[in-house]
Structure 1
């Protein structure tokens, strides 16, 4: 389990967040909102913004067929494994970007609109300045590591608000939970959207240098807010933290001052200490303690695999407590195989009764299969699942 000191160290080194009112931009919550870091695949929100611009301008249609170059094919995972000479429909490209965060598709879009990825990155940065994103510079269309590609939570919140306002007609794509590519289902990386009331998008991001990032938007009682988290220590911790600061945002959105001050940010820093404690020790919430392994050496270090799309299930029980205990015990057996994973108790109906599925989530597919193999050798029931299952 991630200790409080580990979580605090992660927060001090790179954690930053903001929650804003989507209608007027008022800041409802903030911790280090102007801290500059790597956006990772949050970058693809701007790539999609420019794609939606092209659709609005009639330069492309959803049925346009975009060519795949050798440069696109060479991108690191996560990707669709498109081959040079292939073509992909614009709508499939949109779906691949919002669900799988496919880096090869990001380059396909960039080259179709900008001619080259470098020229498209310049377009991205110009658009960022037009939108008021003064601290953001783009160097590529995907979010793959580049020392010059930087942003802040405040700028990413500005981008999300602009996308909802200017491209409302296309925003629904960010709510996609699954789409099929060549007959194979691809599930969203955005697990928070699957469990947070009112959430309807928008994008996860991960590279080693950034930690786990997320832009989330949620709407309740006709009021929309946008949250951004940079530098989560694990995917599970990031999602838990986002859920809690969105709760704070909704509590504040209809009350009090129109702008959060630096003094209030200090109050929020104290709140974050409490959030860290609850995210790592409280056992009363649906998603629980996070587990951290030594740094991985897989493609997810250089791509945006954002490894929260696979999980394992170790049982189904009649009550929450037993289910959580079973998942925690399985996590201890796995030791070093745990990588950015967390305990999840998934509530579901089985006939007329309620069951609580005991799971660990936050794996790549290979990690999930290796985990089940180890548990099976230890005579522990286990099956591999995708998060939407």
Structure 2
């Protein structure tokens, strides 16, 4: 990723939907790596369920290597089944195939499935989290530490908006054959339709993924990919007070980044 664009005129003011200590954002041109906008993008933040992007990265690697296929069954342990919502409420001893596991993670952000994947690939969630952190370093995420596969609260689990942009870029570049999973808005699970959390999909022109996340400590997070009209962008927003404010901010950042001669707008923080 290269340096930030020049600052736009003073009249370009962008309202920030979060207190300063939680907010972070970055916009990157996915074709060139150029950083079009950033604010607090290297400050530590809690990733919440954006964590599952790395869980999926390692699962996609396992598919590429032939270690698993879409039909491979992943067992659900008592530990996995005990995770708090959001989850699909599998019982200990049940299993799901890899294809369903991917959809459960991308669409529903299911914590029980994230742990089941971690245990299957890593032997334990702790060992898998160590592999996640090692992979983060390998792909250029310099300020990220993972302690679990789901993004559930852990004081030692942290990332940055910049690192999440790196991961979003890497997922598309490394696994274009699996990237369609991030565009799904629902899927069938055990005969029931499960709907997702990413309201930008199907509503905002050009948005084709990636992942949302929320825990109380992080606020509302999202990594969004845009691919249309010859432009390809990755937008990360972290720490918004509501999902609606987060989504509106993503739309605003996209509009400004796509505008002719766009630069980095000034920022006005909303009250907490």
Q: TM-score, normalised by structure 1?
A: 0.64
How big is the shift at 1:183? 1.2
Q: 1:352-373: CA deviations, max 9, x gaps?
A: xxxxxxxxxxxxxxxxxxxxxx
Deviation of residue 9 (structure 1)? 8.8
CA RMSD of aligned residues (A): 1.9
Determine the structure 2 residue equivalent to 1:111.
Answer: 119
Match of 1:11 among 19, 22, 25: 19
Q: Whole-Å Cα distance in 2 between the matches of residues 104 and 84 of structure 1?
A: 10
- Which of 203, 213, 227 is the equivalent residue of 1:195? 203
The match for 1:214 is 222
Deviation at 1:41, TM superposition (A): 0.1
Alignment match, 2:74: 66
* Paired residues, number: 258
Instruction: Return the alpha-carbon distance in structure 1 between the equivalents of residues 116 and 218 of structure 2.
Output: 24
CA distance in 2 between partners of 1:45 and 1:213 (Å): 13
C-alpha distance in 2, partners of 1:52/1:86?
Answer: 22
Preserved CA contact (<8 Å) 2:17 2:241: no
* TM-aligned CA deviation for residue 239 of structure 1: 0.3
Query: Could you tell me how far 1:222 is from its partner in structure 2?
Result: 2.6
Q: Which has the higher helix share?
A: 1
Please give the secondary structure, in 2, of the residue aligned with 1:204: strand
Q: Which has the larger radius of gyration?
A: 1
- Picking from 19, 33, 43, the partner of 2:41 is 33
1:53 matches 2:67:
no
Indicate the SS of the match to 2:258. helix
1:225/1:250 contact within 8 Å kept? no
Rounded to whole Å, the distance in 2 between the matches of 1:44 and 1:105 is 10
SS in 2 for 1:191: coil
Distance in structure 1 (CA, Å) of the matches to 2:16 and 2:197: 25
- Are residue 178 (structure 1) and residue 173 (structure 2) matched? no
Cα deviation per residue 1:125-158 (whole Å; 9 max; x = unaligned)?
A: 0000001100000000000000010000000000
Moved over 4 A (4+): none
Q: What is the aligned partner in structure 2 of residue 129 from structure 1?
A: 137
The counterpart of 1:273, out of the listed 247, 252, 268, is: 268
Structure 1 position 247, deviation (Å): 1.5
Higher relative contact order (CA 8 A, sep 6+): 2
Question: What are the superposed Cα offsets for residues 333-368 of structure 1, whole Å, 9 maximum, x if unpaired?
Answer: xxxxxxxxxxxxxxxxxxxxxxxxxxxxxxxxxxxx
Displacement of 1:25 in angstroms is 1.5
1:336 aligned partner: none
- How far the C-alpha of 1:14 sits from its partner, in A, is 0.9
Contiguous gaps of at least 5 residues in structure 2 = 1-14
Matches within 5 A, 1:311-350: none
What does residue 86 of structure 1 align with? 94
Contact 1:217 1:227 (8 Å CA) reproduced = yes
Task: State the distance in 1 between where 2:62 and 2:16 align.
Answer: 43
Conservation of the 8 A alpha-carbon contact between 1:29 and 1:248? no
TM-score scaled by structure 2?
A: 0.91
Q: What CA distance in whole angstroms lies between the structure 2 residues aligned with 1:39 and 1:249?
A: 24
Matches of 1:83 and 1:166 in 2, distance apart?
33
What is the rounded CA distance, in whole Å, between the counterparts of 1:9 and 1:216 in structure 2?
A: 17
Secondary structure of the residue aligned to 2:268 is: helix
